[in-house]
Amino acid sequence: MASPRNLHALTFDVFGTCVDWRSGIAAEARRIGALTGVSADWERLADAWRALYMPSMDRVRRGELPWTNFDRLHRLSLDQVLRDVGAEGFDAAAREELTTAWERLPAWPDAAPGLTRLARRFKVATLSNGNRSQQATLIRFAGLPFERFISAEDFHHYKPDPEVYLGAASALGLSPGQVMMVAAHKADLRAAQAAGLRTAFVERPLEKGPGGGADLLPDEKAEIQASDFMDLADKLDCD
């Protein structure tokens, strides 16, 4: 077990770390497709949509787009994704409903019980690129016991910009070294470390599907490495 000194809060990446975006998006696309008579490879759609996530944020970062929140970035990329997977039969209403699928994603089975244990000792907050309204709906849907929602929208910067990590620490009334970033994505953790936060890597091997290239243990650069949130709670000596 580990008992990091002077650690007061844990901030969590959401998509992939707390919730299973791939199976959730595929299931919602399949449901909406059935209602509208459209069929396609829905897992491919989920993968293709997620693949445009970073390029969309980079357009904001470079100034090609004004600040645009998570939901609207996904809506901007959806038309291309539907063309690519041959699902252009979705009408405008179905496209808007599919965009909100990012609010209806299942939590990983260990997420809620693990967060419950962690919250007994630490402040627990999201730190997501998802916008605030989207996060609130998703966290309620997934049944996750977060005390605070912190969003890239609060700072008009997207992770991995340092403003997001530093802004989160400030919002919690803490110094960066009193906050630990928890994520299943090593690049997220490296950026958090560069901003002065502490880090915990939690493995989500099925995030991108079987053999899909999810980040895996070990992560020797992280202060703590865990197989899931229950293991993280054990390693942080939480009841």
Residues of the chain within CATH 3.40.50.1000 domain(s) are 9-20+105-235
Report the distance separating Cα 235 and Cα 1, nearest Å.
Answer: 4
Cβ distance 179 to 210 under 8 Å?
Answer: no
Q: What is the per-residue burial (b if ≥16 Cβ within 10 Å, else e) of 122-155?
A: bbbbbbbbbbbebbbebbeebebebeebbbbbbb
CATH classification of 9-20+105-235 is 3.40.50.1000, yes or no? yes
| Token code pair at residue 237 | 């000596």
Q: 134 — phi, psi (to 5°)?
A: -60, -45
Output the pLDDT for position 108.
98
- Which pTM was predicted? 0.96
Residues of the chain within CATH 1.10.150.240 domain(s) are 21-103
Q: What is the pLDDT of residues 92-136, one digit of tens each?
A: 999 999 999 999 999 999 999 999 999 999 999 999 999 999 999
Q: What is the pLDDT of residues 22-50, one digit of tens each?
A: 999 999 999 999 999 999 999 999 999 99
The structural architecture, per CATH, of the domain 21-103 is Orthogonal Bundle (1.10)
Q: Return the amino acid letter for 134.
A: Q
